[in-house]
Structure 1
Amino acid sequence: MNTNIVISPGKYIQGYGELERIESHVSFLGNTPFIVASPSGMRLTRDIVENSFKNKGKNCLFELFNRECSKNEINRLKELCEKNNCDFIIGIGGGKALDTAKALAFYMEMPVVIVPTIASTDAPCSALSVLYTDDGAFEEYLILPTNPSVVLVDTKVVVNAPVRLLVAGMGDALATYFEARACKASNSKTMTGALTSTSAMALAKLCYDTLINEGLKAKLAVEKKVCTSSVEKIIEANTYLSGIGFESGGLGAAHAIHNGFTVLEECHNLYHGEKVAFGTLTQLVLENAPTKEIEEVMSFCVDVGLPITLEDLGIEEINKEALMRVAEASAVEGETIHNMPFDVTADDVYAAILTADSLGKLFKGN
Structure 2
Amino acid sequence: MSETAGSETAGAPTPVPVRTIISPSRYVQGPGAITRLGEFLAPIGSSPLIVADDIVWGFVGHDVESSLKAAGLPVRKEKFNGIPTAVEIDRLVDVIKETGADVVVAVGGGSTIDAVKASGFLAGIRWVTVPSVASTDAPTSALAVVYTEEGAFEEYRFFPRNPDLVLVDSQLVANAPAAFLAAGVGDALATWLEARATSRSNSNTMAGGLPTLAGTALAQLSWDVLWENALPALDAVRDHLVTPSVEKVIEANTLLSGLGFESGGLAAAHAIHNGLTAAPQAHGLAHGQKVNIGSLTQLILEGAPTSDIRDFIEFTTRVGLPTTLTEIGLSVDDTDVLQLVAREATVPGETIHAMPFEVGAADVVSALKSLERLSRRVRDEAGLAAPELYHAKH
TM-score bracket, normalised by the shorter chain, equals over 0.9
Instruction: Give the TM-score, by structure 2 length.
Output: 0.87
Structure-2 residue corresponding to 1:158: 173
Structure-2 residue corresponding to 1:342: 357
State the Cα distance separating 1:298 from its structure 2 match: 1.4
CA contact (8 A) 2:313 2:379 kept: no
Pairing 1:31-180 to 2, within 5 Å after superposition: 31-132=46-147, 139-180=154-195
Q: Does 1:315 align with 2:330?
A: yes
Instruction: Give the TM-score, by structure 1 length.
Output: 0.93
Aligned match for 1:268, one of 283, 301, 326? 283
Is there any run of 5+ residues in structure 2 with no aligned partner, and where? 1-15, 382-394
Q: Does 1:324 align with 2:339?
A: yes
State the Cα distance separating 1:58 from its structure 2 match: 3.0
Tell me which moved more, 148-157 or 260-269: 260-269
- Whole-angstrom CA distance in 2 between matches of 1:244 and 1:270: 24
Structure 1 residues 274-305: Cα deviation after superposition (integer angstroms, max 9, x where no partner) = 11112111111111112222222112111111
Secondary structure of the residue aligned to 2:74 is coil
- Whole-angstrom CA distance in 2 between matches of 1:163 and 1:105: 30
State the Cα distance separating 1:83 from its structure 2 match: 4.0
Structure-1 residue corresponding to 2:230: 215
- Whole-angstrom CA distance in 1 between matches of 2:32 and 2:69: 17
- Whole-angstrom CA distance in 2 between matches of 1:301 and 1:238: 15
Distance 1:262 1:303, change over 3 A: same
Aligned match for 1:185, one of 200, 208, 212? 200
Tell me which moved more, 193-202 or 95-104: 95-104
CA contact (8 A) 1:44 1:157 kept: no
CA contact (8 A) 1:32 1:87 kept: yes
- Whole-angstrom CA distance in 1 between matches of 2:123 and 2:276: 36
Secondary structure of the residue aligned to 1:289 is coil
State the Cα distance separating 1:150 from its structure 2 match: 0.3
- Whole-angstrom CA distance in 2 between matches of 1:354 and 1:78: 43
Aligned match for 2:239, one of 180, 202, 224? 224
Secondary structure of the residue aligned to 2:199 is helix
State the Cα distance separating 1:77 from its structure 2 match: 3.6
Tell me which moved more, 199-208 or 132-141: 132-141
Structure-2 residue corresponding to 1:233: 248
Tell me which moved more, 93-102 or 328-337: 328-337
State the Cα distance separating 1:137 from its structure 2 match: 6.1
State the Cα distance separating 1:200 from its structure 2 match: 0.7
Question: Identity of counterpart residues, as a percentage?
Answer: 46
- Whole-angstrom CA distance in 2 between matches of 1:340 and 1:49: 43
State the Cα distance separating 1:316 from its structure 2 match: 4.7
Aligned residues: 366
- Whole-angstrom CA distance in 2 between matches of 1:355 and 1:75: 42
State the Cα distance separating 1:197 from its structure 2 match: 0.8
Tell me which moved more, 185-194 or 259-268: 259-268
- Whole-angstrom CA distance in 2 between matches of 1:293 and 1:254: 16
Tell me which moved more, 43-52 or 202-211: 43-52
Tell me which moved more, 172-181 or 90-99: 90-99
The alignment's C-alpha RMSD in Å is 2.1
State the Cα distance separating 1:328 from its structure 2 match: 2.9
Moved over 6 A (4+): none
Matched to 2:134, the amino acid is: A
Secondary structure of the residue aligned to 2:249 is helix
- Whole-angstrom CA distance in 1 between matches of 2:188 and 2:319: 13
State the Cα distance separating 1:138 from its structure 2 match: 5.2
Tell me which moved more, 24-33 or 61-70: 61-70
State the Cα distance separating 1:224 from its structure 2 match: 1.5
Tell me which moved more, 306-315 or 177-186: 306-315
Secondary structure of the residue aligned to 1:29 is coil
Tell me which moved more, 216-225 or 329-338: 329-338
Q: Does 1:201 align with 2:216?
A: yes
State the Cα distance separating 1:317 from its structure 2 match: 5.4
Tell me which moved more, 181-190 or 329-338: 329-338
Q: Does 1:300 align with 2:315?
A: yes
Matched to 1:9, the amino acid is: P
Secondary structure of the residue aligned to 1:92 is strand
State the Cα distance separating 1:27 from its structure 2 match: 1.7
Is there any run of 5+ residues in structure 1 with no aligned partner, and where? none
